[in-house]
Amino acid sequence: MKDITKLRKLYKLKEVYRHNSVQNRKESSAEHTWSALMLADYLLTRTKLKLDRLKVYELLMYHDIVEIETGDVPIHHEEKRNNKKHEEMKAAIKLAKELPEEIGKKLLTLFTEFEENKTMEAKFAHAIAKLDALIHELDYKKDWQGWTEVMVHKYHGEALKEFPKLHALFLELIGMVKKEKYFDEM
């Protein structure tokens, strides 16, 4: 029972809210993780990429766990992102000590791999996390206010270039949001 009590710390991710809307509230980081997992499963099946599926899923499951300690920092809040990597690594170490030992070790390993972004699985997980945020926001046109096509390419597009089929989907999305006038480019 002691480990279950420790494991409940991970449930706190449900209480971390992101910049993205969901009806009349904000999306939780746990909801983002779930939809990123679903998107990864779909795109791994569709693209037939030769990646370790379990590793991709685990990277996505653990990629935002540190937000339990740090909160979510939206990508376009550049001034708040200056110390982000350092603060998140501190949070990962702190959380690893508070979780059951096996999960703590796993958290540190997966979070580090995701942050280093060197393996193809980590690069794919990054691409999925970016793509998920964009797809989610298609239902919330008002959340695009203040965004430009240049910003979306900068914050999302770069992560997708490693995977031509995902990048092509990204470009289709950009075309759609331009046509539907999502961008507030005054």
The pLDDT score that the predictor gives to residue 185 is 52
Instruction: Find how far residue 44's CA is from the centre of its chain.
Output: 16
Higher pLDDT, 72 or 124: 124
In this predicted structure, which of 82-86, 91-95, 124-128, 130-134 has the lowest mean pLDDT? 82-86
Tokens at 130, concatenated: 């970016």
What pTM was computed for the model?
0.93
The pLDDT score that the predictor gives to residue 89 is 95
Question: What percent of the chain is predicted at pLDDT more than 70?
Answer: 96
What value does the mean pLDDT take over residues 176-180?
A: 93
Furthest C-alpha separation in the chain = 57
Give me the helices (H) in the chain, please: 2-7, 29-47, 53-62, 67-70, 84-98, 101-116, 120-137, 149-152, 158-160, 164-179
Spatial CB neighbours of 15, under 8 Å, sequence gap ≥ 6: 28
Tokens at 71, concatenated: 């909160």
Q: How many residues does the chain have?
A: 186
pLDDT at residue 186 is higher than 50: no
Model confidence pLDDT, tens digit, residues 143-174: 888 888 998 998 888 899 999 999 999 999 99
Model confidence pLDDT, tens digit, residues 113-136: 999 999 999 999 999 999 999 999
Instruction: Give the span between the Cα atoms of 73 and 129, in whole angstroms.
Output: 14
Q: What are phi and psi of 17, to 5 degrees?
A: -100, 140
What crossing angle do the helices spanning 164-179 and 120-137 adopt, rounded to 10°?
A: 20
Higher pLDDT, 77 or 177: 177
* Start-to-end C-alpha separation, the chain: 57
Q: What CATH code is assigned to 2-179? A: 1.10.3210.10
What value does the mean pLDDT take over residues 91-116?
A: 97
Closest C-alpha to 30, from 64, 59, 75, 53: 64
The pLDDT score that the predictor gives to residue 184 is 66
Model confidence pLDDT, tens digit, residues 9-49: 999 999 999 988 889 898 999 999 999 999 999 999 999 99
Closest C-alpha to 32, from 10, 47, 17, 51: 17
What value does the mean pLDDT take over residues 80-90?
A: 85
